[in-house]
């Protein structure tokens, strides 16, 4: 049978599936005749009708094909998950007792298949393997198909919203957006994670952080921020390290350390509010993390107190060598996450020792062993933000390059900031993937970006 549209039917209006303003028909009233493009999300063939759940990236719609010409043809036999098609019909209220997205369904009178799909998708995306690593690898190899699923797409939509919520919040707070370069010749966070490449015969790097460039525009732009990619050659595989990640960074001029801490709490709270106050975004979050609650006030804790806290636990939470923590230890990922999970609220962890922090960080004038630095720790993930006040004294900065074995020449433009009207200032970087792993309760940052990059994976 070749399907034909009945010319006596009213002309169909093209709608997206999130359009809820269309009048619905019922037994007594005809509904609007519409035309919808999309792909099959779910398929259920019954004796009296075939039910398709159509998706178009905006919403879902139940479509009913009464058994007959519409179901007994070659195209209908080949229907599969992801078949692309356009369907025509009348939008109707659901019969009593039935459930479907938005309480409506399309009584289909005509359709055209636009792109067939093989029927193996279920097998790929629901592959059950007892081996977690094999399962993870299969999911990553098929990321381009996994992204079509309900969870992955909800997460990518939430991600878009969160990124825009940062933009909106920065605008509300009068920060200006700039776009620093990704190709650079200076390191920010240590040489061991630099991605080096050949830049027309010169050594160059993919940026680890836009911080130094943000600092250079404070004088002309006021408070500034950027949302750009950062790159780290992380040579270990963890739940929260990527080789390429989205870095939300901001820099604040003429501030004290406490202003930076207040700002961090404010921006995170405001972004969370924007998600929760938006029906659509809150809907995605509900799918992903139904128990999410806006955090209460952040706990402020000094590094030194954290060391004591770790040692006071029963049994004590040990350092990576299996010993009790001592002042000067890096608090490793596992210990940090355990602490955050037990305390179970956001923590502003401050005043890290000079030796374990980056060269540019300002020392605490009241305790020269430590820096005016902060990490924001979130339950389930641990560190999502790293920030600090910046060393604003010229001589001290020159000394810091030396101490850290960094040649000062490539940094001439950064050092100049300390010559031309230096100022007390500070800023931070927030990993968008980690923020989302916290909000959407994801085990790893690998599911919170479109196509994760980490050691051993650069495809698809
Ligand atoms: O603590 P980090 O290294 O700080 C900086 O880069 C500062 N220069 C930022 C600034 O002050 N403007 O990184 C900041 C944040 C971390 O807290 C984490 O959320 C994220 O960036 N991050 C990573 N996310 C995913 N994969 C990685 N390999 C990451 N490394 C850092």
259: helix, strand or coil:
helix
Same domain, 76 and 177: no
**Domain ends where: 119, 138, 165?**
119
Give the C-alpha separation, 413 to 420, whole Å. 11
Please give the average pLDDT of every successive group of 10 residues along the chain, which has 460 residues.
92 96 91 96 95 97 96 93 97 93 96 93 67 86 94 97 98 98 96 96 98 98 98 94 98 98 98 97 97 95 97 95 95 95 97 97 98 97 97 97 95 98 98 98 96 96
pLDDT of residue 133: 83
Report which of 175, 198, 172, 167 is spatially closest to residue 185, judged by C-alpha positions: 198
Residues 62 and 202 in one domain: no
Q: Answer whether residue 164 is part of any domain.
A: yes
Q: Containing domain of residue 277, as a range?
A: 148-447
In a domain, residue 276? The reply is: yes
Closest CA to 162 of 460, 439, 369, 386: 439
- Nearest atom (ligand 1) to Cα of 435: 19
Residue corresponding to tokens 């409506």: 104
Which of 377, 387, 431 to mutate for ligand 1's pocket (most ligand atoms within 8 Å of CB)? 431
Q: For residue 119, what pLDDT is reported?
A: 84
pTM over 0.90: yes
- How many Å apart are CA 426 and CA 189, to the nearest integer? 16
Q: Does one domain contain both 282 and 330?
A: yes
Is 429 near ligand 1, meaning CB less than 6 Å away? Answer: yes
Could you tell me if 219 and 356 lie in one domain? Answer: yes
- pLDDT of amino acid 128: 62
- Domain membership of residue 459 (yes or no) is no
Does 360 map to a domain? yes
pLDDT of res. 125: 64
One domain, residues 344 and 259: yes
Whether 47 and 152 share a structural domain: no
Cα distance between residue 184 and residue 335, in whole Å: 34
Whether 93 and 170 share a structural domain: no
Q: What is the pLDDT of residue 322?
A: 94
Residues 76 and 168 in one domain: no
User: Are 194 and 67 in a shared domain?
Assistant: no
On whether residue 141 sits in a domain, the answer given is no
Kindly report the protein residue whose alpha carbon is nearest to atom 3 of ligand 1.
189
Regarding the beta carbon of 241 and ligand 1, being less than 6 Å apart is answered yes
Atom of ligand 1 at shortest range from CA of 188 = 8
> Do 111 and 152 fall into the same domain?
no
- How many domains is the chain built from? 2
CATH code, domain with 17: 2.40.50.140
pLDDT at residue 458 in the model: 97
């Amino acid at each position: 049978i070749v399907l034909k549209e009945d010319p006596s039917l009213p002309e169909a209006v093209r709608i997206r599936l999130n359009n809820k303003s269309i009048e619905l028909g019922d037994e007594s009233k005809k509904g609007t005749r519409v035309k919808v493009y999309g792909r099959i999300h779910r398929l259920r063939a019954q004796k009296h009708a075939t039910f398709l759940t159509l998706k178009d990236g905006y919403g879902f719609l139940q479509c009913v094909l009464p058994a007959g010409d519409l179901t007994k043809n070659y195209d209908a036999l080949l229907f599969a998950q992801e078949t692309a098609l356009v369907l025509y019909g009348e939008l109707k209220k659901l019969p009593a007792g039935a459930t479907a997205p938005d309480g409506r369904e399309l009584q289909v009178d005509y359709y055209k298949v636009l792109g067939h799909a093989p029927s193996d998708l279920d097998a790929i995306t629901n592959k059950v393997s007892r081996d977690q690593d094999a399962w993870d690898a299969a999911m990553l190899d098929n990321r381009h198909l996994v992204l079509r699923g309900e969870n992955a797409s909800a997460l990518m939509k939430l991600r878009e919203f969160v990124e825009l919520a940062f933009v909106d919040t920065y605008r509300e707070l009068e920060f200006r957006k700039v776009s620093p370069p990704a190709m650079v010749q200076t390191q920010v966070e240590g040489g061991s994670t630099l991605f080096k490449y050949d830049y027309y015969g010169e050594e160059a790097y993919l940026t680890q952080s836009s911080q130094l460039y943000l600092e250079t525009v404070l004088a002309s732009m006021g408070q500034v921020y950027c949302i750009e990619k950062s790159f780290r050659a992380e040579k270990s595989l963890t739940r929260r390290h990527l080789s390429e990640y989205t870095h939300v960074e901001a820099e604040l001029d003429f501030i004290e350390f406490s202003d930076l801490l207040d700002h961090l709490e404010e921006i995170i709270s405001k972004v969370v509010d924007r998600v929760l106050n938006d029906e659509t975004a809150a809907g995605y979050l509900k799918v992903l993390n139904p128990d999410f609650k806006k955090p209460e006030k952040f706990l402020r804790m000094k590094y030194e107190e954290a060391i004591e806290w770790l040692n006071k636990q029963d049994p004590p939470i040990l350092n990576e060598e299996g010993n009790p923590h001592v002042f000067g230890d890096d608090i490793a990922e596992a210990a940090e996450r355990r602490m955050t999970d037990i305390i179970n609220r956001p923590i502003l962890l401050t005043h890290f020792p000079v030796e374990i922090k980056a060269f540019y960080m300002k020392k605490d004038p009241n305790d020269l062993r430590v820096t005016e630095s902060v990490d924001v720790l979130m339950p389930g993930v641990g560190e999502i933000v790293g920030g600090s006040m910046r060393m604003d004294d010229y001589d001290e900065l020159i000394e810091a390059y030396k101490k850290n074995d960094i040649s000062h020449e490539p940094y001439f433009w950064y050092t100049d900031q300390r010559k031309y009207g230096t100022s007390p200032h500070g800023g931070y970087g927030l990993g968008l993937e980690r923020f989302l792993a916290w909000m959407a309760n994801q085990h790893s940052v690998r599911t919170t970006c479109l196509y994760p990059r980490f050691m051993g994976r650069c495809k698809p």
